Amino acid sequence: MEKIVDIIEAMAHEKNLSLETAVEAFKESLVKTAKRCTSYSSHFEATVDMDKKDYHVQQIITVAKDNDERFETEPDSVISLKEAQDEYGSDIELGDELRSDFILEEHGRTASHNLFKELQYHIQRCVEQDLFEKYREKVGQVMIGTVNRIDDKENTFIEIGELKGILSQRNRIKGEKFKLGDTVKALLRYVSIDPEFGMFLELTRTSPKFLEKLMEKEVPEIADETVEIIAAARIPGQRAKIALKTDFPNIDPIGAAVGVKGVRINAVSAELTGENIDCVDYSPIPEVFITRALSPAIVQSLKITDKKEKKALVNITSDQKAKAIGKSGINIRLASMLTGYTIELNEIEGVTDRTGESSGNIPSENEKTTNTDALADLFK
């Protein structure tokens, strides 16, 4: 017995498991082995005393009524009241548990072999469960690993700690390719168990969350939460917009994110294969936020047409329309993703100069300042 208990301690140390976890796995293995030696409908209970290096297994039979359904489903776990009283004495009552020692050594080598197999299985399950919990807590964090294989489906396999990460083609930035031995940064999306791959980590480099985490690592003000990322939107590998805010009047969130001569934002852009990143100063007023999100285009006026459905109508001069839309519609798409509003552009006559002033058929200054509903949000 001492030898078996010593083996448990050794396995716990080897597999980097807590002794309590290994002992629970040993108990489960004892119960499973006992059922293999008797019947699967029997009930057993195992106890382990690590101080005395001893263990015991007991079979439990419950005294039940004659019509108890367990006589059909678990016949070896119950006994009728009459039969129990005839065999063990008249003081036996319904619900009593009759316990008898199960001696594993009496069942020969087969029992020992089965116990060892069960123990290996349950220890491995504990290892996998610990790994699953360990990496599940890291979901949403940036992982760093080394490429060790690329299959014919362009899935990139990355070695990360004890598990392998999979960066599929759809989770890579367009045009991005890796070779064996490359060091890769990616965001952990989730931990999964697959019949083909086993337990693996699904990684992504296209998620807006990946951009946020990279910014957090490069910008100390974001890491210490003096500057907060409100939202981020990306067209991976092309362009991104990120909305920032701060409650500290002496801090410029845009300047903090960009860094001296753009060193911080350029470091993030380089990691994203040259993706252009626009920093936007967040505002709780939708009209202001949308106007800023459409930068570099200069908006003449803006109206929220449907607050519930989040729709906005933007008046813009013809010379600013191309800037608002952007190449292949990328600017307006990102602005919509960032703000959560469906943005409709309405072209008006006139030309906007660099100061934002325009000439032509646009609402008068009085018309633009009469409605103060947008300012109400400031005083909520």
* pLDDT > 90: percent of the chain: 54
Under DSSP, the state recorded for 298 is: P
Q: Contact 342/304 with Cβ under 8 angstroms?
A: no
Band of pLDDT at residue 10, cut at 50, 70 and 90: confident
Instruction: Quote the pTM value.
Output: 0.74
DSSP assignment of 333-348: HHHHHHH--EEEEEEE
Kindly report, residue by residue over 23-46, the tens digit of the pLDDT: 899 999 999 999 998 888 899 999
pLDDT of residue 285: 94
Of residues 2 and 309, more confidence is placed in 309
182-208 exposure pattern, b = at least 16 Cβ within 10 A, e = fewer: eebbbbbbebeeeeeeeebbbbbbbbb
Kindly report, residue by residue over 115-131, the tens digit of the pLDDT: 889 988 888 888 888 88
Kindly report, residue by residue over 266-283, the tens digit of the pLDDT: 999 999 999 999 999 999
Average pLDDT for 229-234: 96
Is the model's pLDDT at 358 over the cut of 80? Answer: no
pLDDT of residue 365: 43
Kindly report, residue by residue over 53-76, the tens digit of the pLDDT: 888 899 999 998 888 888 888 888
Count the residues in the chain: 380
Phi, psi of 84 (to 5 degrees): -65, -40
pLDDT of residue 366: 43
> Cα–Cα distances in Å, from 72 out to 14, 61, 75, 94?
44, 15, 6, 18
Kindly report, residue by residue over 311-352, the tens digit of the pLDDT: 999 999 989 999 999 999 999 999 999 999 999 999 888 777
Rounded Cα gap, residues 27 and 8, in angstroms: 11
Q: Hey, what are 314's tokens?
A: 């933007």
Is the model's pLDDT at 238 over the cut of 90? Answer: yes
Is the model's pLDDT at 369 over the cut of 50? Answer: no
Under DSSP, the state recorded for 171 is: G
Of 354, 319, 218, residue with least CA distance to 277: 218
Band of pLDDT at residue 89, cut at 50, 70 and 90: confident
CA 336 distance to own-chain centroid: 25
Where is average pLDDT lowest: 127-131, 241-245, 277-281, 365-369? 365-369
Kindly report, residue by residue over 170-218, the tens digit of the pLDDT: 999 988 889 999 999 999 999 988 777 788 899 999 999 999 999 999 9
Where is average pLDDT lowest: 76-85, 302-311, 335-344? 76-85
- Report the chain's mean pLDDT, rounded to a whole number: 87
What is the pairing mode between strands 227-235 and 351-352? unpaired
